[in-house]
Amino acid sequence: MYPILTGMKRKTNRIYISIILIIIVLGGISGYFYYRLIYPGFAIKEPVSVYIGKEKDYDALLSDLETVANIKDLAFFKKIASHTHYKDHMRTGRYVITPSMSYPDAIKMFRNGQQTPVKIMFNNVRLKTDFAEKVGSQLMFDTESLLEKINDPTLCESFGFDTITIVNMFIPNTYEMYWNISATKFLERMKKEYDRFWTPERLEKAKAIPLTPVQVAVLASIVEEETAKKSDYSMVAGLYINRLRKKMLLQADPTVKFAVGDFSLRRILYAHLNVDSPYNTYKYPGLPPGPIRFPSISGIDAVLNYTRHNYLYMTAKEDLSGETNFAVTHVEHIRNAKKYQAALNRYNIR
């Protein structure tokens, strides 16, 4: 009897041991997979960005995860993505992968569209085509779609501008927005920023000159092209305002360059002055119909806070330093102009 009980006890122990071993193995497997689920899945030292475009190309995303985010186990990521049916729920946007991010966290971010905004910048822009290219290179929509909209008379009118003055709506600055914003929503955002920029204080200063906000921006664009020194902006603005008040031709060389279509001109010749264009302020009185560049905040504020003086004339200094000689009388201006022309001849600048 005792040998039988002993044998049964041994058999039972073996079963218990087997069960325990199975539990340990299963626990180890579960622990391993749990570890892989929560452990960082990307071999990166700093956050990186991946983009999902309007095509929602799953293979392109996988490629970016390999080349940009340096994913550790693409096959395991694909298994989790398949299990969660992520491929059928892709959302466009810019997504930031961090060094501590796990695969489930990344998929959750992609699936829920938890984007990180981008900072959009545009400065030193002259033409609408340049602007569309600069913005289009930073957002999901393409250059052509934005250019088409800012050349649409009806759309421009809905924002309070025409196809020439629409550029005034874009105040050069840094803006934070989502990468997948539509071109239309982008324009709506820019209109809000424009309205926010034109505070009651700025509007009152414009009215006192008196100029409309659009006219202020047009004059600011001329001022910025006239001098490279920001410290001279308010002086140059004051000069042009003096001429406007006296109903004198502005005779601004940068407007002639714009009319000719060549901003690289170092010397304005009589042939240039005869070009028949509403932007030629040597031929047509007042301000041109639109800005000759996208005016900056500093340029606009320089016009609004122009320096009060009696100057009516200016020319670049003969030392070619980029500074300006201002004059009250035409006689004094001619004297300054001859010095500058002599310097151009001396250095053979044509």
Q: Which residues make beta-bridge pairs with 175?
A: 120
**Contact (CB, 8 A) for 275 and 259:** yes
Residue 42 inside a domain? The answer is no
Burial string for 131-168 (b: 16+ CB within 10 Å, else e) reads bbbbbbeebbbebeebbebbeeeebbeebebebbbbbb
- Number of domains within the chain: 3
What value does the mean pLDDT of the chain take?
A: 89
Residues 65 and 156 grouped into a single domain: no
CA-closest candidate to residue 166, choices 111, 127, 136: 127
Q: What is the pLDDT of residue 350?
A: 67
Q: What is the pLDDT of residue 6?
A: 58
Residue 134 inside a domain? The answer is yes
Tokens of 144: 């052509």
The helix or strand, by DSSP H or E, that contains position 122, with its residue range, turns out to be none
Tokens of 200: 């009651």
Q: Which residues make beta-bridge pairs with 49?
A: 96
Per-residue pLDDT, averaged over 102-109, amounts to 95
Residue 263 scores a pLDDT above 90: no
What share of the chain has pLDDT > 90, as a percent? 77
**Contact (CB, 8 A) for 142 and 136:** yes
Q: What is the pLDDT of residue 266?
A: 80
Kindly report, residue by residue over 270-306, the tens digit of the pLDDT: 888 899 999 999 999 999 999 999 999 999 999 999 9
The boundaries of the domain holding residue 87 are 48-112
Q: What is the pLDDT of residue 11?
A: 56
Kindly report, residue by residue over 11-58, the tens digit of the pLDDT: 555 554 445 444 444 444 444 444 455 589 999 999 999 999 999 999
Torsion angle defined by CA atoms of residues 15, 16, 22 and 27, in that order, rounded to the nearest 10 degrees: 170
**Contact (CB, 8 A) for 129 and 67:** no
Tokens of 307: 């320096």
Which of the residue ranges 6-15, 39-48, 124-133, 313-322 would you say has the lowest mean pLDDT? 6-15
Residue 293 inside a domain? The answer is yes
Residue 31 inside a domain? The answer is no
Angle at CA 281, nearest 5°, toward 211 and 236? 60
pTM of the model: 0.84
**Contact (CB, 8 A) for 287 and 209:** no
Residues 97 and 137 grouped into a single domain: no
What length is written for the chain?
350
Residue 149 inside a domain? The answer is yes
Tokens of 165: 């003055």
Residue 348 inside a domain? The answer is no
Kindly report, residue by residue over 212-252, the tens digit of the pLDDT: 999 999 999 999 999 989 999 999 999 999 999 999 999 99
Torsion angle defined by CA atoms of residues 253, 257, 260 and 261, in that order, rounded to the nearest 10 degrees: -170
Band of residue 129 on the pLDDT scale cut at 50, 70, 90: very high
Q: Cα(233)–Cα(332) distance, rounded to whole angstroms?
A: 21
Residue 16 inside a domain? The answer is no
Using DSSP's 3-state secondary structure scheme, residue 125 falls into: coil
From 180, 197, 214, the end of a domain falls on 197
Residues 257 and 188 grouped into a single domain: no
Residues 301 and 219 grouped into a single domain: yes
Residues 187 and 171 grouped into a single domain: yes
Q: What is the pLDDT of residue 346?
A: 81
From 57, 90, 112, the end of a domain falls on 112
Q: What is the pLDDT of residue 36?
A: 56
Beta strands in 68-111 (DSSP E): 93-97
Kindly report, residue by residue over 174-207, the tens digit of the pLDDT: 999 999 999 999 999 999 999 999 999 999 999 9
From 151, 166, 197, the end of a domain falls on 197
Residue 86 scores a pLDDT above 70: yes
Q: Cα(145)–Cα(326) distance, rounded to whole angstroms?
A: 45
Q: What is the pLDDT of residue 205?
A: 98
Residue 60 scores a pLDDT above 80: yes
Residues 88 and 138 grouped into a single domain: no
Crossing angle of helices 74-83 and 103-112, in 10° steps, is 50
Residue 340 inside a domain? The answer is no
Residue 110 scores a pLDDT above 60: yes
